[in-house]
Amino acid sequence: MDPIEAGNGEHHVYKITVDSADSAKLTARNHYLGVDAVSWFVNKDSSWFRNRMASGAMSIKLSSGLEEYHVALGTFALEAGTRRAPIFDRPALPDRNYRGGPLTFFAQLSGVKSDTALSGILKSAATASLGVVSGMVATATVAGPSKLLGGAGQAIIEGVRTLLTSTGDNREPLFDFNGIEYTIQPEEIVGPQIFLLLHRGSELVERNLTVVNSGKLLVPA
């Protein structure tokens, strides 16, 4: 069966583990938690990218929602048939002292008409949101991250989501406009790293999923 074109099909989330001698489970106040890399792949005909670009937003909730981190994913020029966005060179969430509770990930991904001004706004929002998250982690106290910084991150991401979901023919949901949400329990996080593949399209065989080297990083395949 041919892969379903981006923007169609059911939403799925797959957890991919990597074999490791370290089988420790994520434990509150004993481990740090980080989100090191975010990227996306858009299955569209190469002609789609001539006048479209993809962008999105992601939120990470920790400590049963007491901590929220919001990251704009920016946009990238995908040329010569490339469909995978480059992986950020900065972590979406720097290592954070894990305080307990489930982890919830919420992601949105849209196609928008290519526009230099809009692209600049989305890239600036990504840089600003990464800076806010980094600041929240760096200045966090026993009571948690700064609510002032958290509010700033929320404002940035709400602006981005408005840009990505405004009605009109310039917006095309790759994930549904309502986004895709996934909650993972701490006991499901075993070992030094796991990968989450947020996917829309044909159902995949989870046991066949793996990760491969892409430069200096591992990515789902």
Tell me which residue of 205, 200, 197 sits closest to 44, measured CA to CA: 200
Contact of 14 with 206, CB cutoff 8 Å: yes
pTM, two decimals, is 0.89
Contact of 157 with 57, CB cutoff 8 Å: yes
Q: What mean pLDDT comes out for the span 203-210?
A: 87
The alpha helices in the chain, defined as continuous H runs, are 116-138, 147-165
Give per-residue pLDDT as tens, 66-77.
999 999 998 877
Task: Categorize the per-residue pLDDT at 109 as very low, low, confident or very high, splitting at 50, 70 and 90.
Answer: very high
Task: Categorize the per-residue pLDDT at 218 as very low, low, confident or very high, splitting at 50, 70 and 90.
Answer: low
Separation between Cα atoms, residue 122 and residue 126, nearest integer Å = 6
Task: Categorize the per-residue pLDDT at 168 as very low, low, confident or very high, splitting at 50, 70 and 90.
Answer: low
| 24 has a pLDDT exceeding 90 | no
Task: Categorize the per-residue pLDDT at 45 as very low, low, confident or very high, splitting at 50, 70 and 90.
Answer: confident
Q: What mean pLDDT comes out for the span 130-159?
A: 94
Task: Categorize the per-residue pLDDT at 164 as very low, low, confident or very high, splitting at 50, 70 and 90.
Answer: confident
Lowest-pLDDT range of 58-62, 89-93, 100-104, 127-131: 89-93
Q: What's the Cα-to-Cα distance from 148 to each of 25, 108, 151, 155, 193, rounded to whole Å?
A: 32, 24, 5, 11, 31
Task: Categorize the per-residue pLDDT at 115 as very low, low, confident or very high, splitting at 50, 70 and 90.
Answer: confident
With residue 60 as reference, give the H or E element that holds it: strand 52-62
In the prediction, which pLDDT does 217 show? 64
What's CA 46's distance to the chain center, in Å? 23
In this prediction, what percent of the chain has a pLDDT beyond 90? Answer: 48
Query: Which residues is 17 bridged to in the sheet?
Result: 194
With residue 105 as reference, give the H or E element that holds it: strand 103-113
Residues composing the chain:
221
| 1 has a pLDDT exceeding 60 | no
Q: What mean pLDDT comes out for the span 120-144?
A: 93
In the prediction, which pLDDT does 213 show? 74
In the prediction, which pLDDT does 204 show? 87
Residue of higher predicted confidence among 23 and 95? 95
